[in-house]
Structure 1
Amino acid sequence: MWCAVLLGCCLFALGLCAVSTQGPHRVWGGCAGAGYGLAAWCAARGHGRWAVRCAVGGALVVPGVYLLARGAGQSEVFVLERAAQHLVRTGTPYESAPVDVAGYTPYLPGAALLGLPSLVLPGPPGDARVWCAVVFLCCLRAARPTGGARRYGRGLAVLCAAPPFALACVVSGVDLPVAGVCVLGLALAGRGRAGWAGVVLGLGCAVKWTVCPALAVAAVLLAGRTRTRRRASVLAPLALGTCVPLAVLVLPWVLVSPGVLVEQVFAFPSGHGRLATPAASPLPGRLLAGLGPAGWWCALVVLLLAAGA
C-alpha cells in the first residue's frame, strides 16, 4: 500500500514539474519526484524507515535548503516580509496607494507578524517560510492528545513527507499557520477549553479571514458537550477569546484605513479590486471566476453549501 501511495506522490511531483511555469514548483517537483521514487523502491523492499527518510529528504529537505539558500520562492513569502517591513516603518502593513499587484497585501494585519523575524534574522533563518512551518508544527504539537508519542512521531514524519505539507512549506508556507491554528483550535474546543479555542482561532482569523468557518465548527463541538441550558455560558468564552486577538491585531487598522484594508484583503483576492489578481490554477474555482458575476454567485453558493455540510 505504501509503495503505491509513494508512486502516486512521485507521479504528482513529476507532473507538477512538467506542467508548472513557476520556478519554485519545478524545483520542488524534480527533487520530490526523485525522493518519492526512491522511497517507493525502499518500501517495496521492506525498508520502511529508509522510505520515510528518502521521502522527507527529497520532498522537504533538499528543495527547501536549495530555495532558501537562493532566496527563491513564491510571492507569498515576500508579501509577508514586505508587510512586516512596512508595519515597522509606517505603522501599517498596507501600502496606501500601490501602483501594481506587488504592493498588495491580501492578508489581514496579523499576517505581518509572520514576517517580523526576517527583520532581525538575515538570510534563511529569518525567512517567512521557516516561521510559518514552525507555527504549524508547534500547533500540531500542542494539539497532540495525551499519550501516543510514538504514533505521533510517525504521523508527523509522514505528514512532513506528504505533498500538501512539503510543497506548501518549500515554496510559500503562508497557509500552514492557518491550517495549524484550525487544528489546535478545534482540538481545544473538542476538549471543552472554549476560551483558549477562541484565542487560537481568533489569531488565525487575524491572519486570514478564511479561518472564520472553523469558529462555527468549534461552537458545535462545544455545544455538543453541554446541556441546553448551559450552552450560552460555554460559548461565551469562545466568542470573547476570538474578539481579543481581532481587537488587538485587526481593529486598529480597520478604524484607521478601512478602505485600504477592504480593497487589499477582500476586493483584490475576489477579483473585484482596482487591479486584477494574477492568481490562477486549473481548479474549478478558476473556471467559476472566468464566468463573471454568475460564476461569483455560483462560488458563493458552493461555499455556503460546504459550510453548512
Structure 2
Amino acid sequence: MTDLLKRFDRAWNGRVADLVLYGVSAAFALITAFTSTLLPHRAWGAVAVWGYLAAFLIAFGSRSIVVREAVAWVTWSAVALLPLVVQAVQRAGGRTDRAQEEVAVVEHMGESLLHTGTPYLSRAEIAALPVDERLLGYRPYQPGMGVFGLPRAIAGDHWWTDSRVWFAIATVVALAVAVTLLRSSPLRVRAVQAATVLPVTALTLATGGDDIPVLALCLLALALAFTGRYGWAGAAVGAAAACKLFALPVVAVLAVLAVMNGRWRRFLPPAIGLPLLALIPPLLVNADALIENVLRFPLGHGLVTSPAQSPFPGYLISQAVPGGRYVAAGLLVTAAAVIGLWLIRRPPRTAAAAALFCGWGLLAAILLMPTTRFGYLLYPAALLLWAPALSLGLSNHTATTAPRHDTALYRQ
C-alpha cells in the first residue's frame, strides 16, 4: 500500500494527486454552497470554492515539495481560516446563522467555568430552561473544551473571542510542530493536506471547529512518538483527551506503542494524568452535572436526544430494527473487542502502525455508533492519510522500527 501511495504521489511530480484533491474539493465546496441545508455550510462553500479553484490552477506549475507544501498551507488559509474569520465577524455583527451550535455550547462552557468552576449545568438547571433551549444546555465534551470558551466569557462578544478562532490558533501551533517533526518524510505534503485542506476538515474548522484541535493534538502526538519524544506525545494526546472522548482510543493505542518500545514510564503520566486532572474541578463542584452531560446525554438518557443522526449503519440499525439501539450498541462493543484483541495480539511497534490502528478503529466506531455525525469522518481520514508520512520519514531519535522478522498484519 505504501509503495502504491508513493507512486501515486510521484506522478507528474506530485501534481496529479494535487489536481485531483483540489479539483474534487472545489466541486464539493460549490455543491455545498448551493445545496446544503445548513447556512454556515453554505457560507463556507461560497468562500472556499475560490480557494480550491486557485489551488487547482497553481498545482499545474507546482513541482517541488517545498512549493506544494506552501500551496497547501496557503490553500488552508483560503478555504478554512478566511471563511472562519468572515463568519466570526458576521456573527459578532449580529448574524445568528454564522456558526454551528457547538460554537455556542463551547462558549457557554467557558462562561460557566469562569463563574461557577464547572463547565456543566445540572439536570435541574437544564430542565429549568425553555424546552427549545435545553439541547444547547447540554455540554457533551470533556472539561478541557471549556478553555476555548474563556476568551468570550472574559472579554465579551467580539470576532476574535469566537471559540473557532481559538480552535484555529491551537490547531496551527500543533500542526506546525507536527509537520516540522516530519520534515524528512517524502509524503509530508500529503500529511499537511490530510490535516488541513480536505473539505471535511476545512468545513468543520470554519463552521464548528471543536474537533479540529483535538485531531491536531492527536496527529502531533503521533509525530512526537515517531521521533521518540514519548513524554511530549503523552502530553499532546492527554490534552486532546481532556477536551474530547474521541481522543481516548488514540491514548490507548499510543500507550500500547509506548509499552512495546519500553517508553511507557514517560508516556502514561501525562497521557492519563491530564484528562484526570481536568475532571477534578467539575467533580468537586457538581459530580452529577458532569455525569449528566458527559455520560447520560451521549447515551440517550438526557432530557433531550442528540441531533447527531448521520445515515451510517449504526444509526440506520437503531432506527429500523426492533431494539435496534441495543443491536447497534452490541455491534459497537463487538467491534471494539475485536480491535482490542487485535491490538493485544498484533501490537503496533511503529507510529505509522499506531496511526492505522487509530484510523481504522475510529472509522468502525463512527459507522456503528447509534448517534454520530458525518463530520466525525475527519478523524479516520486524517489519521489514515497521516500514516504513510510516518512510515516513510527518517528519524534519528526513535527505536520504533519493527523487527525484520515481524510478520504482523500492521507491517507497511
| TM bracket (short chain) | 0.7 to 0.9
What are the equivalent positions in structure 2 for 1:156-167 lying under 5 Å apart? 156=192, 159-167=195-203
Q: Which residue of 1 aligns with 2:103?
A: 77
Q: C-alpha offsets along residues 172-201 of structure 1, whole Å, 9 cap, x if unaligned?
A: 110111112212223333333333332322
What are the equivalent positions in structure 2 for 1:168-247 lying under 5 Å apart? 168-226=204-262, 234-247=263-276
> CA separation in 2, counterparts of 1:150 and 1:302?
34
Deviation of the 1:215 alpha carbon? 1.8
Q: Which residue of 2 aligns with 1:26?
A: 42
Query: Does 2:323 align with 1:295?
Result: no
> CA separation in 1, counterparts of 2:76 and 2:245?
31
Letter in 2 for 1:3: L
What are the equivalent positions in structure 2 for 1:99-114 lying under 5 Å apart? 99=127, 100-114=134-148
> CA separation in 2, counterparts of 1:58 and 1:194?
34
Query: Does 2:26 align with 1:10?
Result: yes
| 1:135–1:58 distance in 2 versus 1, CA, 3 Å | closer
Higher relative contact order (CA 8 A, sep 6+): 2
**Mean alpha-carbon deviation: is it higher for 167-176 or for 284-293?**
284-293
Q: Which residue of 1 aligns with 2:151?
A: 117
Deviation of the 1:109 alpha carbon? 0.9
Q: Which residue of 2 aligns with 1:141?
A: 176
**Mean alpha-carbon deviation: is it higher for 277-286 or for 71-80?**
277-286
Deviation of the 1:63 alpha carbon? 2.2
Contact 2:117 2:285 (8 Å CA) reproduced: no
Contact 2:52 2:75 (8 Å CA) reproduced: yes
- Give the total of aligned pairs: 301
Gaps of 5+ in 1: 227-233
Q: C-alpha offsets along residues 278-300 of structure 1, whole Å, 9 cap, x if unaligned?
A: 12223334324423221222233
Q: CA RMSD in A?
A: 3.0
Letter in 1 for 2:147: L
| 1:156–1:239 distance in 2 versus 1, CA, 3 Å | closer
> CA separation in 1, counterparts of 2:213 and 2:73?
24
**Mean alpha-carbon deviation: is it higher for 124-133 or for 31-40?**
31-40
> CA separation in 2, counterparts of 1:158 and 1:178?
15
> CA separation in 1, counterparts of 2:247 and 2:142?
11
Deviation of the 1:142 alpha carbon? 2.6
Q: C-alpha offsets along residues 189-226 of structure 1, whole Å, 9 cap, x if unaligned?
A: 33333333323222221111221111222123223334
Gaps of 5+ in 2: 1-15, 92-97, 128-133, 343-356, 358-412
Query: Does 2:283 align with 1:249?
Result: no
Contact 1:33 1:58 (8 Å CA) reproduced: no
Query: Does 2:106 align with 1:90?
Result: no
Select 1:273's aligned residue among 288, 302, 308.
302
Q: Which residue of 2 aligns with 1:229?
A: none
> CA separation in 1, counterparts of 2:57 and 2:233?
43
**Mean alpha-carbon deviation: is it higher for 151-160 or for 17-26?**
151-160
Contact 1:268 1:276 (8 Å CA) reproduced: yes
SS of the equivalent of 2:259 reads helix
Contact 2:47 2:83 (8 Å CA) reproduced: yes
Quick one: percent identity of the two aligned structures? 31
Q: Which residue of 2 aligns with 1:63?
A: 83
Q: C-alpha offsets along residues 16-66 of structure 1, whole Å, 9 cap, x if unaligned?
A: 33442111011112322343234334435x367797588446522442232
Q: C-alpha offsets along residues 83-133 of structure 1, whole Å, 9 cap, x if unaligned?
A: 110111112111112131111101111111111122344412111111111
